[in-house]
Amino acid sequence: MAEQATWSEAREMTVYRPGQKVEMKHRPGVIDTVIAYDPMMVPPVMLASDPQPRYPEELILISQPGMVFDWLHPWSKVTSNPAIPTSRHLIKS
């Protein structure tokens, strides 16, 4: 049972990533943007224009073709000038 819960959280973290557009089921037509997913928080999904965190069951995902993410850093979009150097980006001194 714990393995199933862990898998569900991992899947939700990839689905409800920052930048993902969602529609609230109780307010049809209202589109918002996920700013964070925190599995330690209940409810775990924080939205840009809604001060109250939401459960995934309250939201409908909006399709966003063409979004590109750096899968080594899944919560940040790929940029040409990363804010945090990684092993792939050398620090210039």
Q: Within a 13 Å sphere around the CA of 2, how many CA atoms are in the beta-carbon half?
A: 0
User: Whole-angstrom distance between the N-terminal and C-terminal Cα of the chain?
Assistant: 50
Confidence of residue 12 (pLDDT cuts 50, 70, 90): confident
Q: Could you tell me the pTM of the whole model?
A: 0.60
3-state secondary structure of 15: helix
pLDDT tens per residue across span 37-55: 998 899 999 999 999 999 9
